[in-house]
Amino acid sequence: MHNITSQVANVVTKSRIKAGTVHIFNVGSTACVGTIEYEEGLEADLPALFDRLIPPSREYGHEEAWHDGNGHSHLQATLMGPSLTVPVTDGKLPLGTWQQIFHLECDIKPHRREIIVTVQGE
Amino acid sequence: MHNITSQVANVVTKSRIKAGTVHIFNVGSTACVGTIEYEEGLEADLPALFDRLIPPSREYGHEEAWHDGNGHSHLQATLMGPSLTVPVTDGKLPLGTWQQIFHLECDIKPHRREIIVTVQGE
Amino acid sequence: MHNITSQVANVVTKSRIKAGTVHIFNVGSTACVGTIEYEEGLEADLPALFDRLIPPSREYGHEEAWHDGNGHSHLQATLMGPSLTVPVTDGKLPLGTWQQIFHLECDIKPHRREIIVTVQGE
Protein backbone atom coordinates (compact mmCIF):
# COMPACT_ATOMS: atom_id res chain seq x y z
CA MET A 1 0.00 0.00 0.00
CA HIS A 2 1.32 3.42 -0.96
CA ASN A 3 0.39 7.00 -0.16
CA ILE A 4 0.24 8.65 -3.61
CA THR A 5 -1.20 11.98 -2.48
CA SER A 6 1.89 14.07 -3.19
CA GLN A 7 2.33 12.59 -6.69
CA VAL A 8 -1.29 13.40 -7.51
CA ALA A 9 -0.90 16.91 -6.07
CA ASN A 10 2.18 17.43 -8.25
CA VAL A 11 0.23 16.52 -11.39
CA VAL A 12 -2.48 18.99 -10.38
CA THR A 13 0.08 21.76 -9.81
CA LYS A 14 1.74 21.17 -13.18
CA SER A 15 -1.64 21.20 -14.97
CA ARG A 16 -2.21 24.79 -13.74
CA ILE A 17 -5.90 23.94 -13.40
CA LYS A 18 -7.39 25.90 -10.51
CA ALA A 19 -10.96 24.57 -10.30
CA GLY A 20 -12.24 21.18 -11.39
CA THR A 21 -11.48 17.56 -10.65
CA VAL A 22 -8.60 15.11 -10.73
CA HIS A 23 -9.26 11.49 -11.65
CA ILE A 24 -6.93 8.69 -10.53
CA PHE A 25 -7.16 5.31 -12.29
CA ASN A 26 -5.29 2.06 -11.72
CA VAL A 27 -4.64 0.18 -14.95
CA GLY A 28 -5.12 -3.54 -14.28
CA SER A 29 -7.57 -5.72 -12.40
CA THR A 30 -5.77 -6.61 -9.15
CA ALA A 31 -5.02 -3.25 -7.53
CA CYS A 32 -7.21 -0.37 -6.38
CA VAL A 33 -7.25 3.25 -5.22
CA GLY A 34 -9.19 5.22 -2.60
CA THR A 35 -8.84 7.60 0.33
CA ILE A 36 -7.86 6.77 3.90
CA GLU A 37 -6.19 8.33 6.91
CA TYR A 38 -2.73 7.16 5.95
CA GLU A 39 -1.13 5.89 9.16
CA GLU A 40 0.49 2.61 10.17
CA GLY A 41 -2.56 1.18 11.92
CA LEU A 42 -4.93 1.51 8.99
CA GLU A 43 -2.15 0.59 6.57
CA ALA A 44 -2.32 -2.86 8.18
CA ASP A 45 -6.07 -2.86 8.84
CA LEU A 46 -7.26 -2.33 5.26
CA PRO A 47 -5.49 -5.30 3.62
CA ALA A 48 -6.43 -7.40 6.67
CA LEU A 49 -10.08 -6.39 6.21
CA PHE A 50 -10.00 -7.41 2.56
CA ASP A 51 -8.40 -10.75 3.43
CA ARG A 52 -11.10 -11.35 6.04
CA LEU A 53 -14.04 -10.45 3.77
CA ILE A 54 -12.55 -12.05 0.63
CA PRO A 55 -9.95 -14.58 1.83
CA PRO A 56 -7.21 -16.12 -0.27
CA SER A 57 -8.55 -19.51 -1.32
CA ARG A 58 -8.36 -22.06 -4.11
CA GLU A 59 -12.16 -22.33 -4.17
CA TYR A 60 -12.97 -19.42 -6.46
CA GLY A 61 -14.21 -20.08 -9.99
CA HIS A 62 -11.28 -17.97 -11.20
CA GLU A 63 -8.92 -20.49 -9.58
CA GLU A 64 -10.50 -23.48 -11.18
CA ALA A 65 -9.93 -21.95 -14.61
CA TRP A 66 -6.57 -20.22 -14.15
CA HIS A 67 -4.79 -21.78 -11.13
CA ASP A 68 -2.85 -18.59 -10.50
CA GLY A 69 -3.81 -18.19 -6.85
CA ASN A 70 -5.16 -14.66 -7.12
CA GLY A 71 -8.92 -15.06 -7.39
CA HIS A 72 -9.33 -13.13 -4.14
CA SER A 73 -7.05 -10.37 -5.48
CA HIS A 74 -9.40 -9.76 -8.41
CA LEU A 75 -12.47 -9.68 -6.19
CA GLN A 76 -10.85 -7.37 -3.61
CA ALA A 77 -9.72 -4.94 -6.31
CA THR A 78 -13.11 -4.98 -8.04
CA LEU A 79 -14.98 -4.31 -4.80
CA MET A 80 -12.76 -1.36 -3.86
CA GLY A 81 -12.53 -0.13 -7.44
CA PRO A 82 -9.77 1.22 -9.75
CA SER A 83 -11.10 4.77 -9.91
CA LEU A 84 -11.20 7.82 -7.63
CA THR A 85 -12.15 11.42 -8.35
CA VAL A 86 -11.12 14.28 -6.06
CA PRO A 87 -12.03 17.97 -6.47
CA VAL A 88 -9.47 20.62 -7.32
CA THR A 89 -10.03 23.99 -5.63
CA ASP A 90 -7.57 26.91 -5.79
CA GLY A 91 -5.23 24.58 -7.67
CA LYS A 92 -5.06 22.19 -4.71
CA LEU A 93 -6.59 18.96 -3.41
CA PRO A 94 -9.08 19.95 -0.67
CA LEU A 95 -8.58 16.73 1.26
CA GLY A 96 -9.22 16.53 4.97
CA THR A 97 -6.18 16.76 7.24
CA TRP A 98 -6.41 13.04 7.88
CA GLN A 99 -7.43 12.01 4.39
CA GLN A 100 -4.88 10.80 1.86
CA ILE A 101 -5.01 9.00 -1.50
CA PHE A 102 -3.79 5.41 -1.41
CA HIS A 103 -2.93 2.78 -3.96
CA LEU A 104 -3.29 -0.81 -2.76
CA GLU A 105 -1.74 -3.82 -4.48
CA CYS A 106 -4.13 -6.76 -4.02
CA ASP A 107 -2.18 -9.29 -6.07
CA ILE A 108 0.00 -12.02 -4.56
CA LYS A 109 3.20 -10.96 -6.28
CA PRO A 110 4.63 -7.48 -6.86
CA HIS A 111 3.61 -5.56 -9.98
CA ARG A 112 4.88 -2.47 -11.67
CA ARG A 113 1.70 -0.40 -11.90
CA GLU A 114 0.55 2.33 -14.24
CA ILE A 115 -1.71 4.93 -12.67
CA ILE A 116 -3.34 7.46 -15.00
CA VAL A 117 -4.07 10.88 -13.50
CA THR A 118 -6.40 13.19 -15.46
CA VAL A 119 -7.00 16.80 -14.38
CA GLN A 120 -10.07 18.56 -15.80
CA GLY A 121 -11.33 22.09 -15.25
CA GLU A 122 -10.07 25.59 -15.82
CA MET B 1 -23.56 -9.76 -15.57
CA HIS B 2 -22.48 -8.22 -18.87
CA ASN B 3 -19.24 -7.07 -20.39
CA ILE B 4 -20.05 -3.56 -21.67
CA THR B 5 -16.50 -2.54 -22.61
CA SER B 6 -17.04 -2.49 -26.37
CA GLN B 7 -20.23 -0.43 -26.09
CA VAL B 8 -18.42 2.12 -23.93
CA ALA B 9 -15.47 2.15 -26.35
CA ASN B 10 -17.88 2.81 -29.24
CA VAL B 11 -19.34 5.84 -27.47
CA VAL B 12 -15.82 7.15 -26.90
CA THR B 13 -14.91 6.66 -30.57
CA LYS B 14 -18.04 8.47 -31.78
CA SER B 15 -17.41 11.37 -29.40
CA ARG B 16 -14.07 12.05 -31.18
CA ILE B 17 -12.63 13.02 -27.79
CA LYS B 18 -8.96 12.07 -27.63
CA ALA B 19 -7.96 12.93 -24.06
CA GLY B 20 -10.21 13.06 -21.02
CA THR B 21 -12.55 10.72 -19.18
CA VAL B 22 -15.60 8.59 -19.81
CA HIS B 23 -18.19 8.20 -17.06
CA ILE B 24 -20.52 5.18 -16.90
CA PHE B 25 -23.64 5.40 -14.72
CA ASN B 26 -26.36 2.85 -14.00
CA VAL B 27 -29.78 4.47 -13.58
CA GLY B 28 -31.61 2.68 -10.77
CA SER B 29 -30.77 1.36 -7.32
CA THR B 30 -30.37 -2.41 -7.80
CA ALA B 31 -27.59 -2.73 -10.39
CA CYS B 32 -23.97 -1.60 -10.48
CA VAL B 33 -20.90 -1.11 -12.65
CA GLY B 34 -17.16 -1.64 -12.20
CA THR B 35 -14.08 -3.23 -13.72
CA ILE B 36 -13.03 -6.88 -13.58
CA GLU B 37 -11.08 -9.43 -15.57
CA TYR B 38 -14.07 -10.61 -17.54
CA GLU B 39 -13.84 -14.40 -17.64
CA GLU B 40 -16.21 -17.21 -16.65
CA GLY B 41 -14.68 -17.89 -13.26
CA LEU B 42 -14.98 -14.34 -11.94
CA GLU B 43 -18.33 -13.95 -13.70
CA ALA B 44 -19.61 -16.54 -11.20
CA ASP B 45 -17.40 -15.43 -8.28
CA LEU B 46 -18.53 -11.82 -8.07
CA PRO B 47 -22.29 -12.40 -7.64
CA ALA B 48 -21.45 -15.29 -5.29
CA LEU B 49 -19.29 -12.95 -3.22
CA PHE B 50 -22.10 -10.40 -2.95
CA ASP B 51 -24.57 -13.11 -1.94
CA ARG B 52 -22.16 -14.29 0.76
CA LEU B 53 -21.44 -10.82 2.17
CA ILE B 54 -25.03 -9.55 1.78
CA PRO B 55 -27.26 -12.62 1.56
CA PRO B 56 -30.81 -12.72 0.24
CA SER B 57 -33.00 -12.62 3.35
CA ARG B 58 -36.37 -11.42 4.59
CA GLU B 59 -34.76 -9.82 7.64
CA TYR B 60 -33.76 -6.48 6.15
CA GLY B 61 -35.62 -3.35 7.19
CA HIS B 62 -36.35 -2.80 3.50
CA GLU B 63 -38.22 -6.12 3.45
CA GLU B 64 -40.36 -5.31 6.45
CA ALA B 65 -41.57 -2.17 4.70
CA TRP B 66 -41.81 -3.31 1.06
CA HIS B 67 -41.97 -7.14 1.01
CA ASP B 68 -40.45 -7.25 -2.45
CA GLY B 69 -37.63 -9.66 -1.64
CA ASN B 70 -34.80 -7.46 -2.91
CA GLY B 71 -33.38 -5.78 0.19
CA HIS B 72 -30.04 -7.48 -0.43
CA SER B 73 -30.10 -6.31 -4.07
CA HIS B 74 -30.26 -2.68 -2.96
CA LEU B 75 -27.42 -3.12 -0.47
CA GLN B 76 -25.21 -5.01 -2.93
CA ALA B 77 -25.71 -2.36 -5.62
CA THR B 78 -25.10 0.50 -3.18
CA LEU B 79 -21.88 -1.05 -1.87
CA MET B 80 -20.48 -1.63 -5.37
CA GLY B 81 -21.85 1.67 -6.68
CA PRO B 82 -23.61 2.86 -9.86
CA SER B 83 -20.72 4.95 -11.16
CA LEU B 84 -17.36 4.34 -12.82
CA THR B 85 -14.94 6.75 -14.51
CA VAL B 86 -12.24 5.56 -16.91
CA PRO B 87 -9.59 7.72 -18.61
CA VAL B 88 -9.59 8.35 -22.36
CA THR B 89 -6.13 8.53 -23.96
CA ASP B 90 -5.50 8.72 -27.72
CA GLY B 91 -9.24 8.33 -28.16
CA LYS B 92 -9.21 4.93 -26.46
CA LEU B 93 -9.82 3.26 -23.10
CA PRO B 94 -6.38 2.50 -21.58
CA LEU B 95 -7.64 -0.54 -19.70
CA GLY B 96 -5.33 -3.36 -18.73
CA THR B 97 -5.34 -6.43 -20.99
CA TRP B 98 -7.32 -8.31 -18.36
CA GLN B 99 -9.51 -5.41 -17.24
CA GLN B 100 -13.00 -4.94 -18.63
CA ILE B 101 -16.05 -2.86 -17.70
CA PHE B 102 -18.96 -4.86 -16.31
CA HIS B 103 -22.59 -4.19 -15.51
CA LEU B 104 -24.07 -6.41 -12.82
CA GLU B 105 -27.79 -6.85 -12.22
CA CYS B 106 -28.30 -7.33 -8.46
CA ASP B 107 -32.10 -7.52 -8.52
CA ILE B 108 -34.10 -10.74 -8.27
CA LYS B 109 -35.93 -10.32 -11.56
CA PRO B 110 -34.68 -9.09 -14.93
CA HIS B 111 -34.73 -5.39 -15.69
CA ARG B 112 -34.28 -3.35 -18.81
CA ARG B 113 -31.49 -0.98 -17.74
CA GLU B 114 -30.48 2.49 -18.83
CA ILE B 115 -26.75 3.21 -18.65
CA ILE B 116 -25.65 6.79 -19.27
CA VAL B 117 -22.19 7.23 -20.78
CA THR B 118 -20.65 10.71 -20.68
CA VAL B 119 -17.37 11.52 -22.44
CA GLN B 120 -15.53 14.69 -21.39
CA GLY B 121 -12.28 16.15 -22.65
CA GLU B 122 -10.92 17.45 -25.91
CA MET C 1 -27.49 9.27 7.12
CA HIS C 2 -28.88 12.09 5.00
CA ASN C 3 -30.59 12.37 1.64
CA ILE C 4 -28.62 15.14 -0.11
CA THR C 5 -30.22 14.76 -3.57
CA SER C 6 -32.08 18.06 -3.54
CA GLN C 7 -29.02 20.04 -2.42
CA VAL C 8 -26.96 18.48 -5.24
CA ALA C 9 -29.77 19.19 -7.73
CA ASN C 10 -29.84 22.83 -6.59
CA VAL C 11 -26.11 23.20 -7.27
CA VAL C 12 -26.63 21.73 -10.74
CA THR C 13 -29.50 24.14 -11.48
CA LYS C 14 -27.50 27.18 -10.35
CA SER C 15 -24.51 26.10 -12.50
CA ARG C 16 -26.73 26.34 -15.62
CA ILE C 17 -24.84 23.37 -17.02
CA LYS C 18 -27.15 21.27 -19.18
CA ALA C 19 -25.00 18.27 -20.15
CA GLY C 20 -22.08 16.81 -18.23
CA THR C 21 -21.44 15.43 -14.78
CA VAL C 22 -21.72 16.43 -11.14
CA HIS C 23 -19.13 15.18 -8.67
CA ILE C 24 -19.90 14.89 -4.95
CA PHE C 25 -16.98 14.54 -2.50
CA ASN C 26 -16.91 14.15 1.27
CA VAL C 27 -13.95 15.93 2.85
CA GLY C 28 -12.63 13.72 5.67
CA SER C 29 -11.91 10.05 6.21
CA THR C 30 -14.88 8.80 8.28
CA ALA C 31 -17.92 9.56 6.12
CA CYS C 32 -18.99 8.51 2.64
CA VAL C 33 -21.42 9.14 -0.20
CA GLY C 34 -23.32 6.94 -2.65
CA THR C 35 -26.74 6.23 -4.11
CA ILE C 36 -29.58 4.24 -2.54
CA GLU C 37 -33.35 4.02 -2.56
CA TYR C 38 -33.80 6.45 0.28
CA GLU C 39 -36.46 4.93 2.54
CA GLU C 40 -36.60 4.06 6.23
CA GLY C 41 -35.83 0.38 5.82
CA LEU C 42 -32.57 0.82 3.88
CA GLU C 43 -31.71 3.86 6.02
CA ALA C 44 -31.36 1.36 8.88
CA ASP C 45 -30.03 -1.52 6.78
CA LEU C 46 -26.97 0.21 5.32
CA PRO C 47 -25.29 1.26 8.60
CA ALA C 48 -26.24 -2.13 10.05
CA LEU C 49 -24.55 -3.85 7.09
CA PHE C 50 -21.37 -1.85 7.62
CA ASP C 51 -21.36 -2.65 11.35
CA ARG C 52 -21.76 -6.34 10.53
CA LEU C 53 -19.01 -6.45 7.89
CA ILE C 54 -16.66 -4.09 9.75
CA PRO C 55 -17.73 -4.14 13.40
CA PRO C 56 -16.82 -1.57 16.03
CA SER C 57 -13.90 -3.11 17.91
CA ARG C 58 -10.76 -2.21 19.83
CA GLU C 59 -8.76 -4.76 17.85
CA TYR C 60 -7.88 -2.68 14.80
CA GLY C 61 -4.31 -1.48 14.29
CA HIS C 62 -5.73 2.04 14.15
CA GLU C 63 -7.02 1.58 17.70
CA GLU C 64 -3.73 0.39 19.08
CA ALA C 65 -2.07 3.56 17.83
CA TRP C 66 -4.79 6.16 18.40
CA HIS C 67 -7.27 4.78 20.97
CA ASP C 68 -10.07 6.91 19.56
CA GLY C 69 -12.56 4.07 19.05
CA ASN C 70 -13.24 4.75 15.37
CA GLY C 71 -11.02 2.29 13.49
CA HIS C 72 -14.13 0.68 11.99
CA SER C 73 -15.42 4.13 10.94
CA HIS C 74 -12.33 4.70 8.83
CA LEU C 75 -12.55 1.28 7.19
CA GLN C 76 -16.29 1.58 6.51
CA ALA C 77 -15.85 5.02 4.92
CA THR C 78 -12.86 3.89 2.84
CA LEU C 79 -14.70 0.83 1.53
CA MET C 80 -17.78 2.84 0.50
CA GLY C 81 -15.70 5.78 -0.71
CA PRO C 82 -15.86 9.60 -0.44
CA SER C 83 -16.64 10.22 -4.10
CA LEU C 84 -19.65 9.88 -6.41
CA THR C 85 -20.20 11.13 -9.96
CA VAL C 86 -23.68 11.44 -11.48
CA PRO C 87 -24.53 12.52 -15.03
CA VAL C 88 -26.27 15.82 -15.79
CA THR C 89 -28.75 15.67 -18.70
CA ASP C 90 -31.09 18.53 -19.66
CA GLY C 91 -29.78 20.36 -16.61
CA LYS C 92 -31.05 17.65 -14.28
CA LEU C 93 -29.92 14.53 -12.41
CA PRO C 94 -31.22 11.52 -14.38
CA LEU C 95 -31.53 9.35 -11.30
CA GLY C 96 -33.96 6.46 -11.15
CA THR C 97 -37.27 7.09 -9.38
CA TRP C 98 -36.02 5.07 -6.43
CA GLN C 99 -32.42 6.26 -6.51
CA GLN C 100 -31.21 9.08 -4.30
CA ILE C 101 -27.82 10.46 -3.23
CA PHE C 102 -26.93 9.80 0.40
CA HIS C 103 -24.25 10.99 2.79
CA LEU C 104 -23.45 8.57 5.61
CA GLU C 105 -21.59 9.51 8.77
CA CYS C 106 -19.50 6.51 9.84
CA ASP C 107 -17.81 8.13 12.83
CA ILE C 108 -18.80 7.52 16.43
CA LYS C 109 -19.52 11.15 17.25
CA PRO C 110 -21.28 13.84 15.20
CA HIS C 111 -19.25 15.91 12.76
CA ARG C 112 -19.94 19.05 10.79
CA ARG C 113 -19.11 17.90 7.26
CA GLU C 114 -17.95 19.73 4.18
CA ILE C 115 -19.17 18.24 0.90
CA ILE C 116 -17.70 19.65 -2.31
CA VAL C 117 -19.96 19.55 -5.36
CA THR C 118 -18.36 20.16 -8.77
CA VAL C 119 -20.45 20.50 -11.95
CA GLN C 120 -18.64 20.08 -15.27
CA GLY C 121 -19.97 20.28 -18.83
CA GLU C 122 -21.69 22.82 -21.01
A57-98 pLDDT, tens digit per residue, is 989 999 988 899 999 999 999 999 999 999 999 999 999 899
Question: Could you tell me if C118 lies within 8 Å of chain B, comparing CB atoms?
Answer: no
Q: Among positive and negative, which fits the CA dihedral B54, B58, B59, B61?
A: positive
CB contact burial C42-57 (16+ within 10 A = b; e otherwise): bbbbbeebbeebbeee
For domain C2-121, say whether CATH 2.60.120.460 is its number.
Answer: yes
User: Which residue on chain B is closest to C94 by alpha carbon?
Assistant: B27
The arithmetic mean of pLDDT across residues C6-26, rounded, is 98
Percent with pLDDT over 90 in chain C: 95
Is residue A25 predicted with pLDDT exceeding 90? yes
User: Which residue on chain A is closest to B24 by alpha carbon?
Assistant: A83
Q: How far does C51 lie from chain B, in Å, by closest CA?
A: 12
pLDDT tens, C38-48? 999 999 999 99
pLDDT of residue C36: 98
pLDDT of residue A65: 86
ipTM over 0.95: yes
Residues of A with Cβ-Cβ distance to C62 under 8 angstroms = 37, 39, 41-42, 45
The CA distance from B108 to B116, in Å, is 22
The arithmetic mean of pLDDT across residues C83-95, rounded, is 98
pLDDT of residue C65: 86
The arithmetic mean of pLDDT across residues C56-81, rounded, is 95
Of A27, A78, A120, the CB nearest to B21: A120
Q: Among positive and negative, which fits the CA dihedral B36, B37, B38, B39?
A: negative
Q: CA of B52: how far to CAs of A22, A32, A85, C37, in Å?
A: 34, 22, 29, 22
Q: Do C45 and B64 touch (CB under 8 A)?
A: no
Largest CA distance in chain C: 51
Q: CA of C61: how far to CAs of A49, C17, C30, C80, in Å?
A: 11, 45, 16, 20
The CA distance from A91 to C100, in Å, is 30
